[in-house]
Amino acid sequence: MSVAAPEHALRRLATMSADLRSLAAEMEALVAFLRPPAQPARESEEFLTLASLCTRIGYAHQTIRNLISQGELRVGRHFVQKRRHGKIHFLWSAMERWLRERELDRSAAEPFVPTHRARTRKIR
């Protein structure tokens, strides 16, 4: 009986160490995912136009405009605009952060994109 006890303890120790290694690997993957980029973005890459933002993140122009009108993307936080109807420049670091938060929060619904541009009927 004295021989069986150490073998059982060694097997249990081996399984526990394997579990710890897998947990450590998962934690390293999470840290790598949440860590900000190693090098800061260059000045030319920090501010993006609407077209360049849409090509990077894969959203349509109208989707981004809908998110702005819904208040999801805010002036000064996610983008800057010199005049009221002027050109919009998006801050890439803020947009990356917004996308990461949106990815972690799966309960957020995808933005509504209308499929057609039908006008309402005039009431006379």
Secondary structure of the chain in HEC code, one letter for each residue: CCCHHHHHHHHHHHHHHHHHHHHHHHHHHHHHHHCCCCCCCCHHHHEECHHHHHHHHCCCHHHHHHHHHCCCCCECCCEEECCCCCCEEEEHHHHHHHHHHHHHCCCCCCCCCCCCCCCCCCCC
- Residue-wise pLDDT for 68-116, tens only, equals 888 889 988 999 988 877 788 999 999 999 988 888 876 656 666 566 6
pLDDT at 29 over 80: yes
In the chain, domain spans: 1-33, 43-104
Give the model's pLDDT for residue 1. 47
Give the model's pLDDT for residue 54. 92
Q: Stretch 55-67: mean pLDDT, rounded?
A: 90
The mean pLDDT value of the chain amounts to 81
20 φ/ψ angles, rounded to the nearest 5 degrees: -65, -40
The residue assigned the tokens 């973005």 is: 41
| Angstrom distances, CA of residue 33 to CA of 20, 47, 87 | 20, 23, 32
The pTM of the whole model exceeds 0.75 = no
Give the model's pLDDT for residue 18. 92
Give the model's pLDDT for residue 46. 85
Which CATH number applies to 43-104: 1.20.1250.20, 3.20.20.450, 1.10.1060.10, 1.10.1660.60? 1.10.1660.60
Give the model's pLDDT for residue 84. 76
